[in-house]
Structure formats: structure tokens, C-alpha cells
Amino acid sequence: MIRTLILLFFLIAPTIVKGQTSLEVLSVSIHEGDILPEDSLEDIKWESLEAFNTMNSEVLVYWLRLKYKESANQNMRHGVLLLSRFFDKVESYKTPYASSAISITGRLVDNQDKTLTKGIYKSSLPLSFDKENTLYIKLTNYPLVGSISRSLDGMEYLSMRDFDIYATKIHTIFTLAIGMEIIIFMIFLFLVYLKPSRENIFYLLLIFVSVPLIIIRNQVFDSFFDLNSQLLSILEFCLTILVVYSFSAFSAHYIKVIEYSRFWYRFMTSPYILLLIPAFFYFDKLYPYVLIAFYFIITIISATVFLIKFRKKNLHRANVYLLAIGPITIAGVLPFLAASKIIPANFWTINSMLIPLVFRDFVFMTDLVLGFFRDKSLIAIKEIEVLQLQEEKKQLKKIEELKTTFFNNVSHELRTPLTLLLGPLESVLNNGKLNKDIEQQLKMSMKNGTYLLQLVNEILDLSKLDHGQLTITKKKQDIIPILKGIIESFKNYATENKQTIYITHSSNQIYIDTDRDIFEKMIINLISNAIKYSKSTGDIHITVKEYKHSVSISVADSGIGIAPADIDNIFKRYYQVDRKRSVSGTGIGLAIVNEFIELHNGNVTVQSTPGKGSVFELSFPLVEDSVKSNTNIVPYALNKQEPIDPNKPLIMIVEDNQDMRHYLEQHLNDYNLYQAANGQEALRLLKSIQKPDLIITDYMMPVMDGVEFIKTLKLDENFSMIPVIFLTARTLQDDKIKVLHMGIDDYIIKPFDMKELKLRINISLKKALNQKKSMSESIDTFSLPEILQFKKKLDTYIIENISNPKLSNIDLAYHFSISERSLIRKIKSATGQTPAAYIREIRLQSAKRKIEYNERTSISEIAYELGMNNLSHFTQAFKKRFGKLPSAYFRKSDE
């Protein structure tokens, strides 16, 4: 077998001189004794004997004839012939027909039967020197071992001195090489643990299979181990395949072949080569090794081709790869050159693979380890950058929140004065008893005040859109009456400009899904612009058309128009068409219209001719299967006020702005009013006046704001049922939801319509009156079994959640899936107490029982366990309920 012969050649004498032989896999050594220098040795001639080859299915036998003559040096009488360890049995005879062998050795021969049994000579035959000698050698190999098929030319003996040097070198070099490989393997093992990438895993496999292959091929440890030749042959073949495959797969991942060719990537990484293992058992070993060599050559060629391309992307890795495989590629050719006498054969040319092999593994290990730390550094830098970006994002968010807070505060400060301006103006104008000039001036003030209010609203809407705080609640609505109402509100404005607004619609009822407040803002903005930019005496046409899948609303004017260059930018924020125009704008209105229509999944378009006018068209998705009826339709006009009682109800107004309190006092003269400047003052006032029927409060106030005021109010059993209306300039949806969760009745945003406020007051008072009536009849409403069953479930839920200090009406109502007011009514019917009082009663009774039975060691522990975190409050409530302090019960239980 070729690979066996090549392997043995690596272990033969390190110098090649005169002499010819057709025998392969043999090496010659000199037995211990007084030996002359190498230049005094005579030639040894080898000739093959072609007879006696059995060639049967079980064994393969070769006879070799060795001719040699006596050395000129009489001291050189003995020698040793070093043979291949892959020969199962080797015998030497004086004649080929001799009945017994002179000497015997081989892998399948027991140590005690071998002629030489010492150390490295176990695979050797002794030689004796006469004047001329002929020795017949019989080589026997058994199945799976293969045959000797090539000759190796040029062998000569070594002197014992050179052989000892050779043996020392080979043992030292191989020990160091194996030691280095084991160290590199341990480093790679740790690297794979830290970074289990494919390139690291495949190189770890390469080192793992390379070390035992080196040991097997170089017979370094033959002095210590005796292994079966068949087993070694199979093991060597399998390890060779794994070495080639692992290096091929590593190369594919290291130079990123997949980026250039998926076919070659699969060829280099798929374990097809492992299919050659069965071939080893059915063919001569020559053929599988040829296929392995062919596969390896293709791999190296393809890797080189892709490496050239790879250099453009990653010059560093390309240079490392060339540095690592260059020396070992060159070193792999040296033994063949030495065998062919092209270069001198010496120790370093024969054993040229070891140092480049360790060098290759060291280079790749260094690069991959350093690459790992580079990657870790880059990741750390990226993490720092991410943290910096997150911190910057947080800072920006804080700035945005501050800006939002500023806008909200400004809106509060602007909306209240605007209310106080527009409200009295509206009242005076509606009175009708005014001088014409004064009326005109008041109308001008009303017009500009309304414009200022619209501008404030637009700025606030932009702020909400930027922060995602603008939520829409779409309902199916008939837009025809809404449009007519808006047009009616613009009637006076249009009349002053000698303009007429017309509306045409394809149907008397047209429904779309929309948020009415946002829909009105869009239409108001378009009509306002149409009036502003139209010529005097020009008409404004509003057209509503219903198509198969959409509804369009177009607003057409006969104004100055828009230049074609400005059409694409008209809906961008703060964009103004022409600053030299006589009519100025803010560049906000159309931007808001565009963003509002997107919230409705619609779109807005514009067609304009300079000097003739513009047409803005809004397109909304049509409500499918819309029914022309009043079902689920939000009414356009509010119902008229209906009196609730001939006696005047008592209303408390909590407002920090004195002008606003005065304004409300003037218009709410149908009620008895009490006023307070903040929440704290209102709480003091409640203790000295009759219980009010309704409370109207602002959100933002000094000392105690509206939120804290209502929280405190809801905790007091005497006032928790009073209906509350928030009258505020805060427009954020989060603010509204926050107070609605507290159980308030209504939330009205300033500026407000006084008629609407009065209507909502009456609705809240009616609801409160109905609730009182139903609570007074509640005992008759619920049956006794129902009350008992509800009380049992109530007690169970409270006991299970008794450690929650925030257990409240809302939690109970959510658990029983009923409204908070219905809950209060049912608990009142079942226990005669409010929910808060009943929860406190259960907690106090549980505390008394734990104290009496010594279930805990301290009063504070009991209080905390029962959800009463304020120890002082717990002690006072306990004493009020049972007439004694908790400590007195402790002492009594101890006695």
C-alpha cells in the first residue's frame, strides 16, 4: 500500500547513498557494538523474489532476497534490519525452502516469540556479516492489510552513533509536537465553550483527530504499546478521512466560501467523504486513499481560488490562512523530493511535517483567540454606544415630556382666559341690545378670540400627534347634519366677507366611521381656509359624494389658488406658500388635516389653479352595510335642558381662577353654589356646609389639585357618592382616563359651551337622584338567598386579598363584573355598610382573632399582614372598634 510505504520511508535512514533495492517499507539499523564511521560501510544490495506469492483470499505473502557482503571493517559483524510495523509476520531464512526460520518478528507475533524484544527493535530482524551473505525474508499480511506494490530506491545503514542521535531527535521532536498540540487543543476547547462558532468547532475536531494520527503513523510509542496491525490500519484510515474533512469544513467557514458559491460550500462542509470508510473493507487500501487525496487536492484548489476573492473583503484572514497552510504545504512535498533524490535526504526533510503542523495550528489558534477578544471588544463598544443612545433617547424623552407638560400648562393658562373672553362676548352678542359699532367691534373680538382658540388647539393637537397621545374613538355617524351644523357656525363669518357657503350631497344620510371631534376639526380647518383665501363675494361649495367603497367631502373655493410648485409641500408642517401674501397663516392647519385623515385610513388631495381657486377633497372609507337609520348614530344636536326638581340643588365649585368662578356663578344661577379656591379649602368647607349634590372641580390648582381632592373625597364615606364633574383645560387622554378610573361622572375640556355644561350637570344630578332612590329600595330588590350568596363570595374574596393595602371598590367591582355603584348598593344591602367600612371590619376582626390566639409575635406584624400598613391608624381603628388597644389584648392572652 502506497501510504504505508510512504510512512515507512519517513522512518528509514536519514541519508540516501549508493545502492539499489526493490524492497519497500524496510529500514536498516546497526546493532549495538563498536561501529566504524559511516563512510567505511559497504553497499547493501536488495533484490525481490517474485515466487511463492500465495495470493489467496486469506493471506498475502511476499518473499524477498537480501544480498550483502562483508564489510572491510572486521569490527562490523552484526546489524539490525528495521521493518514496517504494519507487517503481521516477518521471517528470515538461509534458503527459501528451509524448515525453520532464523529470526521472526511482526505485529501478530507475541513478544516472547520474537527474536528481538527490546524497545524500538521489536519490529526488527538481526543480521550477521560474512564475506558474502544471502538472506530470504518472508513477509506475511492478513486480510484488510493490503499489499506492497511499489519499490523504494536508495537505502543505506546508519552508524549506531547516528542512529542514537536519530532516535533521540525523533522522540524529542514528537513529544514536543504532541505536547504543543494538546495545549492548543485545550485552548480551542475553552474557546469553543466561549464561542461555539462552526470554524472553532471544526478546528477543534481537526486537532482532536490529528494527534492520534501523528502517534500512529510515526511509531513513536511502539516501545510502550502493542496494537493489532489490522486495528491500526483501520484506525489510521478513519482518522485520515476525519482530518481531511475537518480541515476542509474549517477552510470553508474560515474564508466564508458560502458568500461566493453554495455548491462549493456544500462540497467542502458536507461529510460525503465519510462514505469512503465502507470502501476500505471491500477494496484494496490503495483506492480509498487515492480518492481521499483527490478530494483533498480539490479542496485545496477551491479554497485557494476563493481565498483570492476573499482577500478583497478580508485581507487579514486571507493572509493568516496563507501563512498557516503555506509552510505545511511545502513541507508535505519534501519527503517525496528526498525519496526521488532531488534534494538531500536528512532528518529534517524526512520529518518535515511536524514543525509546520504545529505552526499551522498555532497560527490559527492565535488568530481565532485574538479575533474572539476583538469581537468581545467590538460588542462592548456597541453596548456602550447602545447605552449612550438609550441615555440620549431618555434625555430626549424627558425633553419631550417637559415640552408636552409646557404645552399642557400653557393650554391651561390660555384656555381659561379664552373662555372668560369668549363666554361674556357670546352672552353680550346674544342679548341683541347693542349699538351697531359696538356690536361690530365685539364681533371682531369674538372672531379673533375664536381664531386664537383654534390656533391653541392646533398646537396642542400637533403635540399629541408627536407623542402618540392622540387617541380617536370612531363611531358610525351620519355626517350630513354635522356638516350642516359646522356651516351654520360659519354663517356670520362668511356673510361679513360677502360669501355664501353651499352644500350638496348625494344622499340625505351618509355614514362613516369617525371621531366626531377630529372630523369637525378637519372640516372647520378646510372651510376656514376657504373663507380666508377666497375673493370677496366668492362662493364656497361643499360636496359630499358616496361611492361604492368610499365617501368624499370636497371643499371648493374661488380664491387665489396654489402654485404647482407648492402642491407637494402644502401638507407639510409649518410650510407657508407665499410669505408676501396679504393673508398669512401658520402652516399648521393643513398638516393636521393630513395627519387626522391618516388616522381614519383615508387621504386628502388638492387640485388648484392659480387665480381661480382650490379644491380640497377628503376621502373616507365607507361603512359597509350601512343602514340609513338612527341605530348607533351619535346625535348632532344636544337635547334641551329639562328641569329636575323645583328646589335648587347645591353645587360646590372648586376653581383657583377667581374670574372663572365668577363666570360660573353668573351662569349657574339656577343652583345654590359654594366656592373654594383649591382642594384643601373645599375639604374644610365640606365639613361646615350642607352636603352638596354635585361638585365641579378644576384639575390643576395650588395647595391641593383636583386629583388629590377627589382621592380624599372618595375615601370619606359621607362624600364618596357625590357626583363629580371635572372642568379643565387638560386635554391629554391619559389625564382623562386617570380621573375617570377614580369614579368621576364627567370630564369637560375648556373652553366649553355653557349650555352643554348645564345639560351635563342636570344629567349627573338625575343619575345621582335615581341612585339614591334605588339604594333606598335595595332591601326589597334583592332576595335573601341572593344576598347571602353574594355575602359569602364577598367575604371569600376579601379574605383572599386581605394583605393588599390598596384593596378598593374598583377591585371588588372588577371581580364581580358589576359597576362600582351597583357594588356599593349590593354591599349596603348585604352588610349595611359601605365597601370600605366592611373591608375594615373584616381586617379588624381578623386582627382581634390573631391577637387572642397568639398567631403572631407583634402588633405591627399582624397589621402589615392584614394590609394596614399605617400602624398608628390601625391602633386607633382597633381601639375605636373594640374599646381597647391591641396591646391590652396581647397582655390578656399572655395571662
| Model pLDDT for residues 789-801, shown as the tens digit of each residue | 888 888 888 888 8
Name, in order, each residue with C-beta under 8 angstroms of 70's C-beta and a sequence gap of 6 or more. 42, 129, 130, 131, 132, 133
- DSSP codes of every residue in 793-814: HHHHHHHHTTT-TT--HHHHHH
Q: What is the residue whose three cell numbers read 511535517?
A: 353
pLDDT in tens, 380-405: 888 888 888 888 888 887 877 777 67
- Domains of the chain listed by start with CATH number: 2-158 (no CATH), 175-212+223-333+344-377 (no CATH), 472-616 (3.30.565.10), 650-774 (3.40.50.2300), 779-894 (1.10.10.60)
**What is the model's pLDDT at position 294?**
62
* Per-residue pLDDT at 105: 77
The number of CA neighbours under 13 Å toward the Cβ of 610 is 8
pLDDT of residue 129: 54
CA 796 to mean position of chain CA atoms: 43
User: Does an H or E element contain 892, and which?
Assistant: helix 886-894
DSSP string, 582-628: SS---S-HHHHHHHHHHHTT-EEEEEEETTTEEEEEEEEEBPTT--S
The pLDDT value given to residue 76: 43
Give residue 537's region: left, alpha or beta (phi > 0; psi -120 to 50): left
Tell me how far apart the alpha carbons of residues 500 and 532 are, in angstroms, rounded to a whole number: 13
Angle subtended by helix axes 516-533 and 436-466, to nearest 10: 130
Query: What is the structure's pLDDT at 37?
Result: 32
- CA distances from residue 677 to 256, 699, 709 in whole angstroms, order as listed: 76, 12, 12
Q: How far apart are CA 709 and CA 695, in angstroms?
A: 11
The enclosing H or E element of 7 equals helix 2-10
Q: CA angle, 479 as apex, 478 and 484 as ends, to 5°? A: 120
The number of CA neighbours under 13 Å toward the Cβ of 491 is 7
Res 726: pLDDT: 93
Q: Cβ neighbours of residue 225 under 8 Å, at least 6 residues apart?
A: none
Of the candidates 480, 557, 470, which has an alpha carbon nearest to the alpha carbon of residue 512? Answer: 480
Res 861: pLDDT: 77
Alpha-carbon Rg of the chain, whole angstroms?
Answer: 52
The total of other beta-carbon atoms located within 10 Å of residue 459's CB is 17
Write out the H or E segment, with its range, that includes residue 524: helix 516-533
Angle at 23 between CA 19 and CA 26, to 5 degrees: 95
- Measured CA to CA, the distance from residue 308 to residue 312 in angstroms comes to 8
Residue-level pLDDT at 13: 29
Low-confidence ranges of the chain (pLDDT < 50): 1-57, 73-78, 84, 119-120, 144-163, 283-287, 579-580, 582-583, 625-646, 778-780, 893-895
Residue 145's nearest CA partner among 76, 230, 79, 202 is 230
Q: At what angle do helices 886-894 and 871-882 cross, to 10 degrees?
A: 70
